[in-house]
Structure 1
Amino acid sequence: MSNGPILRDDLVAWLGDYLEVSKFNDPSANGLQIEGRPEITRIAVAVDSSLRTITEAVESGADMLIAHHGLFWGQQQLITGAHYRRVRAAIEGGLNLYVSHLPLDAHPEVGNNAVLAQALGLENVEPFGSFRGQKVGVKGTLPLPLDLQGLADRIQKTTGEICLVHGGGPGEVRRVGIVSGDASSNLPEAAREGLDTFITGEPRHATFHDSFENGINAVYAGHYETETFGVRALAIKIEETFGIPWQFIHAPTGL
């Protein structure tokens, strides 16, 4: 463990290796999106790279903000309006912005889905949930069967979010899949794999009937709330490895 600052470039290289960023076909521009100060003594972590989280990271004295959702998504984007104000706030504050999207969903140790599965007590956890040919979620089994409402209550206590439950499957559940965020399109895949319940963040109108027509339960636990787990777990790992203090910037969206 380091007792002093770490060079930004060394931390970026470590993150790239640890999160296996290069193996993901991701619409997000994973990695360092904005370059700031060359030394890191404190970090902040957040789900979104909003003006609020960037400003709060600067005000907290952080040298780097690590976010799940970044500012750039693989296509041309003009630096004007609200987008300009976000970029300007980071640059004027000397703040590095590092982003990990799919790598932080899929990671087996600090990923959103792995950490949520651990919090819910799932066993025999393995990769699940295809996106662009990659498994970004997890599936596993509850140690004992649980009624659907009991599972929803457990999720709510874990995330702090009131869940929306579509009871298209059995009332007693045990085989559970998780893909955080916006993954309701994975419902048919979950049914094909014999799961009785699928947990994700937010529902879509286009997939509303998939739970009922495929005979599987869907629990929608909040896009934001299901994706707070990864950045916090990653921050703990960085503190354990390098001795760098951190804080989580809570900026819920209600979605």
Structure 2
Amino acid sequence: MTANPNTTSSETRSRPGVPRAELIQWLNDYLDTDAFDDVSLNGLQIEGRDTVTRVAASVDTSLRSLQAAADAGADLLLVHHGLFWGKPLPLSGPHGQRVRLAMEAGLNLYASHLPLDHHREVGNNAMIARALGLEDLEDFGEYGGRKYGLAGTLPRELDLQDFADRVQKLTGEICLVHSGAHPFVHRIGINSGEGAGLIPEAARMGLDTLLTGEPEHKYFHDAFEYGLNAVFAGHYETEVFGVRALAAKIEEEFGLPWQFIHQPTGL
């Protein structure tokens, strides 16, 4: 990523703080949180202080990210991967420690999983497409009846290795490349995180390259057999974009300073 792993906005605050209820309502409306059927519990997962004066953002929720947010004086931690997924867990062991740490620190925890993947302004896929300069964007990457990714065209063709190098500069991580017989990259499908299973859809759309996060063993042969390039840029590294953009949007709307907590997983 960057030389400084914690990216912080301007320290200037245009107002002393924002009521939590106002900020959460704005987030829910802006992200259209309630419209998504998701295994993640999207929205406010842990209620903390009533007023938010500083925001932290992180891809994952862990003891380290929660502690870093508390140490930074944040009142709200924005995450892509929250603490609650589909079924209740006992508040014991590490899960209980995470919840207890957040509550003792008065830290609000807000998670946005599929809504942030999908969002066409600050979403992971939208931010990657914008950074790559893709044109003629269209929806791509169906999951549960909704398309979360984006497909588009590069302004000019790139050699596959040149494209992988460009993605590496964007993410800071070396990409895994499966060359499916296309020596050049022009029409690209983007789906952050887990998207290896979208190779057949990309082929049906006439794309030549899929850019996603992590490979999966059961889809290993698909790129070669469908004749499609697959560039795997890391689950974590393809999902730093959304939470950072969302935190910056909060600063734009409310004048709240923010900090990105960079804790790469290598996956």
Q: TM-score range by the shorter chain?
A: over 0.9
**Counterpart selection for 1:56 from 49, 58, 68:** 68
1:142-177 CA-to-partner distances (Å, cap 9, x unmatched) read 000111111100000000010000001410110000
**Counterpart selection for 1:202 from 205, 214, 220:** 214
Q: 1:24·1:134 contact (CA, 8 Å) conserved in 2?
A: no
**Counterpart selection for 1:247 from 247, 255, 259:** 259
Q: Give the match for residue 46 of structure 1.
A: 58
C-alpha root-mean-square deviation of aligned residues, in Å?
1.0
Q: Helix, strand or coil for the counterpart of 1:28? A: coil
Q: Give the match for residue 116 of structure 1.
A: 128
Q: Helix, strand or coil for the counterpart of 1:181? A: strand
Task: Give the TM-score normalised by the residue count of structure 2.
Answer: 0.94
Q: Helix, strand or coil for the counterpart of 1:138? A: strand
- Separation in structure 2 between the aligned mates of residue 80 and residue 132 of structure 1, nearest angstrom: 32
**Counterpart selection for 2:47 from 30, 35, 45:** 35
Q: 1:105·1:136 contact (CA, 8 Å) conserved in 2?
A: yes
Q: 1:238 to 1:206 in 2, by over 3 A?
A: same
Q: Give the match for residue 100 of structure 2.
A: 88
Q: Give the match for residue 10 of structure 2.
A: none
**Counterpart selection for 2:205 from 168, 188, 193:** 193
Q: 1:12·1:32 contact (CA, 8 Å) conserved in 2?
A: yes
Query: Which amino acid in structure 2 is aligned with residue 28 of structure 1?
Result: S
- Separation in structure 1 between the aligned mates of residue 181 and residue 68 of structure 2, nearest angstrom: 43
- 1:222 has 2:237 as partner: no
Give structure 1 stretches of 5+ with no counterpart: none
- 1:178 has 2:190 as partner: yes
Deviation at 1:120, TM superposition (A): 0.8
- Separation in structure 1 between the aligned mates of residue 233 and residue 205 of structure 2, nearest angstrom: 21
Identity %: 62
Q: Helix, strand or coil for the counterpart of 2:194? A: coil
Give structure 2 stretches of 5+ with no counterpart: 1-12
Deviation at 1:2, TM superposition (A): 5.4
- Separation in structure 2 between the aligned mates of residue 126 and residue 108 of structure 1, nearest angstrom: 11
**Counterpart selection for 1:235 from 247, 250, 257:** 247
- 1:97 has 2:101 as partner: no
- 1:71 has 2:83 as partner: yes
Q: 1:169·1:197 contact (CA, 8 Å) conserved in 2?
A: no
Q: 1:169·1:196 contact (CA, 8 Å) conserved in 2?
A: no
- Separation in structure 1 between the aligned mates of residue 184 and residue 210 of structure 2, nearest angstrom: 13
Q: Give the match for residue 128 of structure 1.
A: 140
- What are the residue-to-residue correspondences of 1:21-32 with 2, within 5 Å? 21-32=33-44
Q: 1:7·1:40 contact (CA, 8 Å) conserved in 2?
A: yes
